[in-house]
Amino acid sequence: MDLVYIAHIGVILFTFFMLLNSAAVLVLMERKVAAFLQQRLGPNRTGPWGTLQPVADILKLLFKEELRPLAADRWLFALAPILSVTAAFSAFAVVPWGGTTTLFGLLPEPVPLRVADVNVGILVLFAITSMGIYGIVLAGWSSNSKYSLLGGLRSSAQMISYELSYGLALGAVLLLGNSLSLTDIVNQQSGYWFGVIPRWFIFIQPLGFVIYMIAGIAETNRAPFDFPEAEQELVAGYHTEYSSFRFALFFLAEYVNMVTVSAVATTLFLGGWHGPFLPEWLGWLWWLAKLFALLFFYIWMRWTLPRYRYDQLMHFGWKVLLPVAVINLLLTAAAVLYWG
Amino acid sequence: MGQIRTETMTVNMGPQHPSTHGVLRLVLELDGENVVSASTTIGYLHTGIEKTAEQKKWQQVIPLVERMDYLSAQSNSLAFVTSVEKLLGLDLPDRVKWIRVLLAELQRINSHLVWLGTHVMDLGAVSVMLYCFRERELLLNINEMIAGFRMFPSYIRVGGLREDLPAEFHETVRAFLDRMPEKLADYERLLTKNQIFRKRTHGVGYISKEDAVAWGLVGPIARSSGVQYDVRRAFPYLVYDKIDFEVPVRTEGDVYARYLLRLVEMRESLKICRQALDRITPRGEWAVDDPRITPPPKDKVYTEMEALIQHFLIYSQGFTVPAGEAAVPIEGPRGEQAFYVVSDGSNRPWRVKSRGPSFFACQAMPTYLIGALIADVVAIIGSTDIVLGDVDR
Q: Tell me what pLDDT residue A340 has.
A: 67
| pLDDT at B261 > cutoff 60 | yes
| pLDDT at B130 > cutoff 70 | yes
Compute and round to an integer the Cα radius of gyration of chain A: 21
What is the share, in percent, of chain A residues with pLDDT greater than 90? 0
By CA distance, what is B33's nearest residue in A? Answer: A150
Q: Between chains, do B197 and A306 touch, taking CB under 8 Å as contact?
A: yes
Minimum distance, in Å, between the CA of residue A37 and any CA atom of chain B: 7
Q: Are strands B349-355 and B330-332 parallel, antiparallel or unpaired?
A: unpaired
**Residue B59 near residue B157, CB atoms below 8 Å:** yes
By CA distance, what is B133's nearest residue in A? Answer: A38
Q: In the Cβ-directed half-sphere of B334, how many Cα atoms lie within 13 Å?
A: 35
- B9-288+319-390: in CATH 3.30.420.130: no
Q: Between chains, do B194 and A233 touch, taking CB under 8 Å as contact?
A: no
Q: Rounded CA gap, A77 and A238, in Å?
A: 11
Q: Between chains, do B378 and A233 touch, taking CB under 8 Å as contact?
A: yes
Looking at the DSSP bridge assignments, the partners of residue B331 are: B336
CB nearest A233 (choices: B19, B190, B197): B19
Cβ-based contacts of B192 with chain A (< 8 Å)? none
By CA distance, what is B187's nearest residue in A? Answer: A304
Angle, CA A37 vertex, CA A34 and CA A42 arms, to 5°: 45
CB nearest B124 (choices: A37, A39, A306): A306
Cβ-based contacts of B125 with chain A (< 8 Å)? 304-307
Query: What's the pLDDT band for A232 if we cut at 50, 70, 90?
Result: low
Query: What's the pLDDT band for A290 if we cut at 50, 70, 90?
Result: confident
Mutation choice for B interface testing from A31, A233, A240, A303 by most B CBs within 10 A:
A233
Q: Between chains, do B130 and A39 touch, taking CB under 8 Å as contact?
A: yes
Q: Rounded CA gap, A148 and B19, in Å?
A: 17
Cβ-based contacts of A148 with chain B (< 8 Å)? none
Minimum distance, in Å, between the CA of residue A306 and any CA atom of chain B: 4
Cβ-based contacts of A303 with chain B (< 8 Å)? 126-127
What is the rounded average pLDDT of the residues A65-70? 82
| pLDDT at A140 > cutoff 70 | yes
CB nearest A312 (choices: B11, B126, B199): B199
Q: Rounded CA gap, B380 and B126, in Å?
A: 17
Query: What's the pLDDT band for A230 if we cut at 50, 70, 90?
Result: low
Query: What's the pLDDT band for A1 if we cut at 50, 70, 90?
Result: low
CB nearest A231 (choices: B18, B196, B377): B18
| pLDDT at A201 > cutoff 80 | no
Q: Between chains, do A309 and B17 touch, taking CB under 8 Å as contact?
A: no
Q: Between chains, do B200 and A307 touch, taking CB under 8 Å as contact?
A: yes
Q: Between chains, do A34 and B127 touch, taking CB under 8 Å as contact?
A: yes
* pLDDT single digits (tens) B195-216: 888 888 888 888 888 888 998 8
* pLDDT single digits (tens) B302-360: 898 988 998 898 888 888 888 989 999 999 898 888 999 999 988 899 999 988 888 88
| pLDDT at A36 > cutoff 60 | yes
Q: Between chains, do B196 and A223 touch, taking CB under 8 Å as contact?
A: no
* pLDDT single digits (tens) B45-82: 888 888 898 999 988 899 999 888 888 889 999 999 99
| pLDDT at A124 > cutoff 70 | yes
Cα distances from B370 to residues A154, B29, B218, in angstroms, run: 20, 9, 21
Q: Between chains, do A147 and B11 touch, taking CB under 8 Å as contact?
A: yes
* pLDDT single digits (tens) A179-195: 888 777 777 777 777 76
Q: Between chains, do B134 and A231 touch, taking CB under 8 Å as contact?
A: no
Minimum distance, in Å, between the CA of residue B145 and any CA atom of chain A: 24
CB nearest A232 (choices: B122, B194, B197): B122
On average, the pLDDT of chain A sits at 81
Cβ-based contacts of B126 with chain A (< 8 Å)? 34, 38, 303
| Residue type at position B189 | R
Q: Between chains, do B11 and A308 touch, taking CB under 8 Å as contact?
A: no
What is the rounded average pLDDT of the residues B171-180? 91
Q: Tell me what pLDDT residue B46 has.
A: 87
Cβ-based contacts of B122 with chain A (< 8 Å)? 232
Q: Rounded CA gap, B229 and B244, in Å?
A: 17
3-state secondary structure B140-185: HHHHHHHHCCCCCCCCEECCEECCCCCCCHHHHHHHHHHHHHHHHH
Query: What's the pLDDT band for A162 if we cut at 50, 70, 90?
Result: confident
Q: Rounded CA gap, A235 and A157, in Å?
A: 19
What is the share, in percent, of chain A residues with pLDDT greater than 70? 93
**Residue B285 near residue B165, CB atoms below 8 Å:** no
DSSP letters, A29-60, are HHHHHHHHHTT-----SSSGGGTTHHHHHHHH
| pLDDT at B1 > cutoff 60 | no
Most confident of A126-135, A234-243, A269-278: A126-135
Q: Between chains, do B131 and A40 touch, taking CB under 8 Å as contact?
A: no
Q: Between chains, do A305 and B194 touch, taking CB under 8 Å as contact?
A: yes
Q: Between chains, do A235 and B17 touch, taking CB under 8 Å as contact?
A: yes
Minimum distance, in Å, between the CA of residue A215 and any CA atom of chain B: 16
Minimum distance, in Å, between the CA of residue B251 and any CA atom of chain A: 24
What is the rounded average pLDDT of the residues A201-210? 81
Q: Between chains, do B18 and A37 touch, taking CB under 8 Å as contact?
A: no
State ipTM.
0.79
By CA distance, what is A226's nearest residue in B? Answer: B124
Cα distances from B184 to residues A291, B43, B177, B189, B255, in angstroms, run: 35, 35, 11, 9, 18
Minimum distance, in Å, between the CA of residue A304 and any CA atom of chain B: 6
* Beta-carbon count within 10 A of A254 CB: 22
Q: Rounded CA gap, A244 and B13, in Å?
A: 24
By CA distance, what is B21's nearest residue in A? Answer: A232
By a Cβ cutoff of 8 Å, what residues of chain A touch chain B?
34, 37-40, 146-147, 150, 153-154, 223-224, 226-227, 230-235, 303-312
| Residue type at position B108 | R
Query: What's the pLDDT band for B106 if we cut at 50, 70, 90?
Result: very high
Q: Tell me what pLDDT residue A127 has.
A: 84
**Residue B378 near residue A232, CB atoms below 8 Å:** yes
Q: Between chains, do A307 and B124 touch, taking CB under 8 Å as contact?
A: yes
By a Cβ cutoff of 8 Å, what residues of chain B touch chain A?
9, 11, 17-19, 32-33, 120-127, 130-131, 134, 190-191, 194, 196-197, 199-200, 373-378
Cβ-based contacts of A309 with chain B (< 8 Å)? 199-200, 373, 375-376
Q: Rounded CA gap, A38 and A57, in Å?
A: 21
On average, the pLDDT of chain B sits at 87
Q: Between chains, do B374 and A150 touch, taking CB under 8 Å as contact?
A: yes
* pLDDT single digits (tens) A38-53: 888 888 888 888 888 8
Alpha-carbon dihedral A246, A247, A248, A254, rounded to 10 degrees: 120
Q: Which helix (H) or strand (E) holds B302?
A: helix B298-303
Cβ-based contacts of B19 with chain A (< 8 Å)? 232-233
Q: Tell me what pLDDT residue B4 has.
A: 78
Query: What's the pLDDT band for A231 if we cut at 50, 70, 90?
Result: low
